Amino acid sequence: MEAKTLPYLQAVIYEGLRIHPPFTGLLCKKVPPEGDTYDGKFIPGGTRIAHSTWSIMRNKQVFGEDVEVFRPERWLGIDDARRTTMERTVDLAFGYGRWACAGKTVSFMELNKFYVELLRHFDFQLVNPTQPWHSVNQGFFLQKDMWVKVTER
């Protein structure tokens, strides 16, 4: 069985990338010299524009009202059009078009392999499941007060 065929694993991977995108800063680009039009507004050539990955991953119109919650189930039992919209939105964390990350495919392959092997060989248990833990973003995410007991299977 291939990891890509496991719906819940795929939901966990996409939800993890959504809630903790690999890059949270602004992805800046420069408008071509001739300018461009977006949403009916002209943007002069040479203007630097950007999108906030963090904000895009918390779009309630795409992901629902509980965007601050890690909930892989949001990816299950939905129609194909909604899933495609959600996946394409998460894919923006890797850039788009000619600026897209060349390693995106390898990243997904490694995430699938990593989680399957990790869960095959180890059990995980929160040391204090009732204690809240906190995420700190310093260009990448760090979890504070999230102690986990890991035992070999």
pLDDT, average across residues 126-150:
84
CATH number reported for the structural domain that contains residue 17 in this entry: 1.10.630.10
- Cα distance from N-terminal residue to C-terminal residue, the chain: 21
Residues at the binding site are 101
Confidence of residue 51 (pLDDT cuts 50, 70, 90): confident
Tell whether the torsion through CA atoms of 100, 103, 109 and 112 is positive or negative.
negative
- Alpha-carbon torsion, ordered 121, 127, 133, 138, to 10 deg: -50
Indicate if the pLDDT at residue 120 is higher than 90: yes
The parent domain of residue 105 ranges over 3-152
> How many structural domains comprise the chain?
1
Q: 6: left (phi > 0), else alpha (psi -120 to 50), else beta?
A: beta
Residues at the binding site for heme are 101
Q: Are 20 and 139 in contact (CB under 8 A)?
A: no
Confidence of residue 15 (pLDDT cuts 50, 70, 90): very high
Of 64, 67, 87, 74, the residue nearest 8 (C-alpha): 74
Q: What's the pTM?
A: 0.83
Q: Which residues pair with 122 in a beta bridge?
A: 152
pLDDT digits (tens, 9 = 90+) for 71-95: 999 999 999 999 999 999 999 888 8
Residue 19 and residue 12: Cα distance in Å, rounded?
Answer: 10
